[in-house]
Structure 1
Amino acid sequence: MTVPLQITFKDMEPSPALEARIRAKAAELERFEHDILRCHVIVEAPHRHHHQGRLYRARVEVFVPRGDVFVTREGPLNHAHEDPYVAVRDAFDAAIRQLEDHVRKLRRQVKQHGPAMRRGRVARFIAGEDYGFIETEDGEEVYFHRNSVSGNAFDELRVGDPVHLSVEEGEKGPQAVVVHPVHRHRSAG
């Protein structure tokens, strides 16, 4: 998984099998990869003073630009959470739903309130600086800065890489306010 993942077990021994399940569930977040800065999963066992079955708590924290997603799955009434795998599954299912909502809201904001997305290619970088220029499909040259590249992916960009961008008129001409790298499908192997 390319999204930085941290796993914490509280009040219980770390479980390699449960950790593998968490990594598999976290891999499902890769479709939001360019929007996720990091992910932290906490699985907690209840204190032993409960008389009935132990109900596990799973918390998924997903850090994204312009808002974060925090989901905790626990419940004294949900006896399915006596199984930590079920608590983790439910927490990830809820996190994915919230991420989908978050992305939809951001896209609506960009469509309604921001400039339209355009296509272009990275034309050049300025050596030793945190900016460069993109050539749009219609031949316009647009300035962009490291901070405008989503997912902190500035260092991964190369000349010729395709991007989607939102352009506004700046003091010295057109500038990209948001740059989304277009991820090419990676070959397996």
Structure 2
Amino acid sequence: RLNKPDAKAAIFEVFVEAIRGSSVQSQVVRATGEVMHFSGTPGYEWSRSVYPGLKTVFNLVACDNEFETEFASFLDKASDVAAYAKNNLYTHCSFDYQNSEGAIRYYYPDFIVRLATGEKWLIETKGVEDVEVAYKDARAMQWCRDASAIAEAAWQYVKVPYDLFQASTAATFSELVAEIAVRDV
């Protein structure tokens, strides 16, 4: 009976859960003393769309889609935004999270923004939501709490839904965040 597919699957699942339970451990967040600067990112090739950003250290903003291009343009126009960076695999700003199946994955928030007030934001621009989005959101919020506790600046996270952004009349980042907060209530 143990060589039957259903028995094999059941045994496999027991081992997967046992290994997962013993291999994923929470740790206290500590500052390493190393500060990451986007200005230290070496040049890289990008075959998707680019935007000639104004408030960024990069000569071109590497965008994955039209929504990100529009959002970068919005950040350049928003008077309360001092600087921003479009994040991706090449900028190496990521953190791990446990996905819906319990596996460890890496999450790269779309944008990192510094407001004129010094406040810092992780931003996820989101069109279609899949099952993993809630796990990434939770991890990003936890990362912001941890970073705020050990850094000199407050960090916050916001997910910018495509439909809300398209309908928005916000002229500043703060106005956009307020619109999102009203929608999420």
Would you call these one fold, judging by a TM-score over 0.5? no
The structure with the largest alpha-carbon Rg is: 1
TM-score normalised by length of structure 1 = 0.28
Choose between structure 1 and 2: higher helix proportion.
2
